Structures are given as C-alpha cells and as structure tokens.
Structure 1
C-alpha cells in the first residue's frame, strides 16, 4: 500500500493516464462482449443467404458481422418493423439518445405506421439527415431485404450522397442485410448480416475500421434486434405514436 500511495503522490499524471487506459480497456471489452452476444450457430454461419453476393462474390477482401436471435412470433409479425427502418421513418430501434449525441437526427417509433410499410428495390435507407445510407437491392416481403452502400457506385436516389472513404482509402463498401427464417412452432429466427470491404485491406486502416466503425455497429445492431423482438412480441410500445417527430 505504501508503494501505491507513494506512486500516486509522486506520479499523479501517470496514475491518471493508467486509470484512463484501464477504464478504456474495460469499456471496450464490455462493448464487444455485449455487441457479440447474439452469435449464430455453426450451421447458420455457413448458410448462404440473399445479399451475400453483393460483396462476397467479388475479388475484393471483406469481413463480416452477423448476429441472430429467436423471436417468439411468426415472420409476418416481425416484418413490418423491419420494413420501416430508416432515419426518415421509424429510426433504428437502438440507442436514440446516443445517436442524436453523434448528430444523427433519429427518433425511434415502436408502432407500425402504414405509410412506411412498403419497401422496394432502389429505395434508400437513410442513416443520417445529410444523406448517408444504403440502397435497397432486393426485397422479399415477410422474409428478407438486402442493401448496399459502395463509394465506387453511389446511389442515385434523391437526397442520397456518396460516402467518402475515410482514412485515405481508395474505396469503402458495405452491405446490410436482414433475414427472417421460419423456425417452426410460430417462431422466427432473425439474422442480420453485414459485409464490409475497403482498400487497402490491411495494417492500421483495417484495425481502425474494426475498432472505430465495427464496435458501434454491432453494439447498435444488437440493441436494434432486441427492441424489434420486444416490439413484435408486444412488450415495447410507443407512449406517443408520433415520437419520431418529437423534439
């Protein structure tokens, strides 16, 4: 104890830095444990799903994030919540206050809104009010939809902007696909799968992409999936139908 007290007294700045570092490591470890807490089965990991071809069949290297959970209602009761995803619609059913802190003008709606129920290929799912998002590529109502954002081929949807690759990358592309699989006995297996590709796909850039973009992605995705489950199973409801537009 005497050594510790002496170190704190004589090296206060170092002690503060060490505390900050330890706190940061524990925080990141906790986020990763939470974010990766909905693993797929080995069979599901090997499963070929619609949207895998959007990046997976190309020669570009890629990495994959995927999560899964079981929802205790049929697919048709889950689909309406998926169909209204988007910054201009029902939000992303995640940590709304945190999203707004990082300038995303997102207010979640936990009720089904008729005007948002139709999703179609070519539509754009806005993440941010400035125009960042993904273009919907394929829709099978009640079963799945696939989407992609690729800086080499930006969407022409009105209001969408081309994503500028960060960290001096030559390109940046990702898919975000959602699948509802019939699990029998009135249950649904909900899988989200995201593939990401960029160049150069190595070194410090790869580490930063995984750390800075990957960490919030799977943390927010897990929260989204759990809230969709709660909505579909009737445990999560809006206190106000128009909460999305509340200031």
Structure 2
C-alpha cells in the first residue's frame, strides 16, 4: 500500500517540484540528446532578477569553477560555492568540460549554450568504474549512465525569471540502476536541486541591481 501511494501520489510531485503542468509536459532544449530515456524530472522556481542577471551565476558553475550552489560538503569537496560573479568563468562554450567535482575525474560537457536563455550539461559515466566519457565520440558500453541537466531561463516580469530545470537520462543495466534511481538518486536530486534554487535566490537578490 505504501509503495502504491508513493508511486501514484508522492513520486510524481517529487519529480515536478515547483513546475507548472505546462512546464513539466513541455519540450525543452536538450531533451533529444538522450533518446529512449528512462528517467526525467522538471523542477522550477521564480528568481527575483531578470535573465541577464541570473545567467552569470549559471555560466560559472563547475567543480573547478564557481561550484554548484547546493550542499558544498557533498558536491564541492567542502569548498564554498562562489558568492560573486567571476569574470574569468563567464566565457562558457559548447563542448567545454566542467568538472563535476574539484579534480576533474568526472565531468559534465556543456552541450547547449544559449546565453541568458539555456544551459544544458551532459554527463556520461561508465559503470562500475565511474569514469566519464564523451558520448558524442563513441558507443555506450553495457553498463552506463547518460543524462542531461538543463537550465532554462524565461523572463516572467521586468525583474523576474522563471528557472526551469529539466533532467533526462537513461542507464543500464536497468535491473540494477532502476532501484537506485527510485530509492537514492531521485530523492537526492530533489534535495540538492531545492538547495540550489534557494542559494541562487539568495545570490541574485544580494547582487547589485543594474
């Protein structure tokens, strides 16, 4: 009974936290990068700044750059995420690698970069080694995860931005990765994503207004 209640009522809300029905059902840039996906989420929040002031915080994300604005003890080796805009981290380009953690053994690739509108990061990891590779240049192995993490900015008021975050992924073998998705990765992603929303809101609110 508990599993049925979770699957029917709780899990769909966790995977669409803060998003409208239109946002959750909509097609977003980067969705097509993972054909045959077996997991997806759409979460959203409204930030008190226009897209041109939110974008610089997203552009400088990275384990070897400004961090991820979430729980730094977990995703940034205890280093605090940037609390100001750093000019040298603003020139992000498609194809650029962004370390998931300081050290760079695992990374995201900037798959789509549309300044002030869309940033889609892609990570492909072989299992069980945990080594990243670029799925654009070689076939997937028998055991892997391949996912995108997309940030989409849409102006909603003169000084407000709707930030919609879409994840979409696939993994193999499903007999092993499916239970981990349900029990671990989906709840962890929700917690980390809500923390990132909060910290981005604090930063854009504290930044000098143009």
Q: TM-score range by the shorter chain?
A: 0.7 to 0.9
CA contact (8 A) 2:66 2:82 kept: yes
Q: Which ranges in structure 2 are unaligned for 5 or more consecutive residues?
A: 1-10, 127-131
Question: 1:190, CA displacement in angstroms?
Answer: 0.5
- Residue among 54, 69, 75 paired with 2:45: 69
Alignment of 1:16-31 (within 5 A): none
- Aligned match of 1:190: 163
Residues 48-88 of structure 1 show CA distances to partners (whole Å, capped at 9, x for unaligned) of: 11111111xx2x24211221000121101100000000111
Aligned ranges 1:215-234 → 2 under 5 Å: 215-234=187-206
Structure 1 CA distance for aligned equivalents of residues 83 and 113 of structure 2: 22
Verify the 8 A CA contact 2:64 2:104 in the aligned structure 1.
Answer: no
> In 2, are the aligned partners of 1:93 and 1:227 still within 8 Å (CA)?
yes
Please, what is the CA RMSD of the aligned residues? 2.9
Distance (Å, rounded) in 1 between the aligned partners of 2:177 and 2:170: 12
Q: CA deviation at 1:99?
A: 3.7
After superposition, give the CA deviation of every residue in 1:157-201 in whole Å (9 maximum; x if it has no partner): xxxxx9x98xxx622111111110111232100011111201233
Aligned 8 A contact 1:87 1:105 in 2? no
Q: Which protein is richer in strand relative to its size?
A: 2
Q: 1:124 pairs with 97, 106, 110, which one?
A: 97
Q: CA deviation at 1:216?
A: 2.0
Partner SS state of residue 233, structure 1: helix
CA contact (8 A) 2:46 2:163 kept: yes
TM-score, normalization by structure 1:
0.67
| Cα distance change of structure 1 residues 85 and 189 upon mapping to structure 2, 3 Å threshold | same
Counterpart in 2 of 1:141? 115
Assess if the C-alpha contact under 8 Å between 2:16 and 2:24 holds in 1. Answer: no
Alpha-carbon distance change, 36 to 194 in structure 1, aligned in 2, over 3 angstroms: closer
Structure having the higher Rg: 1
| Structure 1: distance between partners of 2:15 and 2:30 | 21
2:122·2:149 contact (CA, 8 Å) conserved in 1? yes
Structure 1 residues 127 and 71: CA distance shift in structure 2, 3 A: same
* Structure 2 counterpart of 1:81, from 36, 48, 57: 57
Alignment-derived partner of residue 5 in structure 2: none
TM-score, structure 2 normalization: 0.78
Matched-pair contact (CA < 8 Å) for 2:23–2:42? no
Q: What per-residue deviation string (whole Å, max 9, x for no partner) do you get for residues 86-110 of structure 1?
A: 111111111113446xxx3643111
Aligned twin of 1:11: none
Gapped regions of structure 1 (runs ≥ 5): 1-31, 157-161, 237-247
Alignment length, in residue pairs?
Answer: 188
Write out aligned runs for 1:4-43 (5 A).
38-43=17-22
Tell me which of 150, 166, 173 is aligned to 1:177. 150
